[in-house]
Structure formats: structure tokens, C-alpha cells
Amino acid sequence: MELSEKEEQLNTEDATNLQEEKENLSDDYSANTDNVADEKAGLQKKYDALNDSHLRLMAEFDNYRKRTLREKADLIKSGGEATITALLPVIDDLERAMQTVRTAEDIDAVKEGIELIYSKFIAYLGQQGVKAMKAAGEPFDTERFEAVAIIPAPDEDKKGKVIDSVQTGYTLYDKVIRHAKVVVGE
């Protein structure tokens, strides 16, 4: 009988131990699920914050893009306005010159007036960065000149060089905006 009492006692102890292990596992499981839930909630908050930040950044960039496009369009419109406004005095001078030509008796005075208007206009273009290209005597360069005629060179040193300019070429800040039409010596 002693053996059965011992067995019973061992069985009771084992049952108690199993019960305690189940309670410990249950406590560990609930603690783990609480930790996982807390971690999941924390990660969800971080995700929501990052997503919100991303959406705001995208909206801000879109607004920036639209604003810069609008500003560029305004600059293009008003840039032309400044150019035209600066040319109005030249137009006024030309109108006065045309009236004077109709009634003028002194042709030299008319010539002088037109030359002053031309000088004023060239000065304005110079302020805007436009310059006339020097062509005569320069070596022929297809980047700057357009050959309209080729003639025999009068001298040996004028071969491959510009002899005459038919139409003046212009540059805007060293960029060719109109090629000079020239006669080239061969």
C-alpha cells in the first residue's frame, strides 16, 4: 500500500505541477499577446505618422510645382512687357522722324535725326545683350556665318575669309541669334 500512496502522491504532485505549468504558460502567453498587441499598436502609430507625413510632402511638392509653373508663365508675360515698354521711345522718335521727312527741306537734318534714332536703338539692344557680329576679314565659320556667295579672292591672304557682309548677324550673350549672310573668298 505504501507504493500506491506514493504513486498517488506523485500523481497529485505531477497534476499540481502540470496545473502550475499551464498557469505559467497561460500567464506567459497573455503577457506575450499583450506585448505583441502593444508593439502592433506602436508600429501602427508609426505607420500612420509616416503615411501622413508622406501625403503632406506629396501635396506640398505638388503645390510647389504648380506655383513655379504659374510664376514662370507670369515672368514670360511680364518679360515681354518690359521689352516693349523700353522700345516705345524709339517708336515715338521714328514717328516724329516720319512727320519731319514729309515736310523737311533740310535733308542733312533728317539724316542726322534718323542716325540718332538708330544709335538709340542699337544702344538699347546692347543693354539687352545683343551685339552685331563683325564679319569682314574674319575666317569663315559655319557656326557664325551663312555663305550666300563665293567669289575668287582678290588676294591670297583672303582665301577662306569673309570678304563682304550682305546682312549683319547678331549674338545674344555670345549665342548666335541670327547668322551673318556673307560673301566668302575662294
pLDDT tens, 47-64?
999 999 999 999 999 999
* Residue 130 to residue 144: CA distance in whole angstroms: 14
pLDDT at 164 over 70: yes
Least confident of 15-24, 141-150, 165-174: 15-24
Confidence of residue 1 (pLDDT cuts 50, 70, 90): very low
CB 162 within 8 A of CB 182: yes
Please name the fold of domain 130-186: Nucleotide Exchange Factor Grpe; Chain A, domain 2 (2.30.22)
Nearest Cα to 184, choosing from 137, 129, 131, 122?
137
- Across the range 8-30, mean pLDDT stands at 67
What is the pTM assigned to this prediction?
0.56
Collapsing DSSP to helix, strand or coil, 163 comes out as strand
pLDDT at 6 over 80: no
* Residue 54 to residue 46: CA distance in whole angstroms: 12
* Residue 123 to residue 131: CA distance in whole angstroms: 10
CB 169 within 8 A of CB 176: yes
Please give the grid coordinates belonging to residue 109.
Answer: 537734318
**Which residues does 179 contact at the CB level (< 8 Å), separation at least 6?**
144, 145, 146, 169
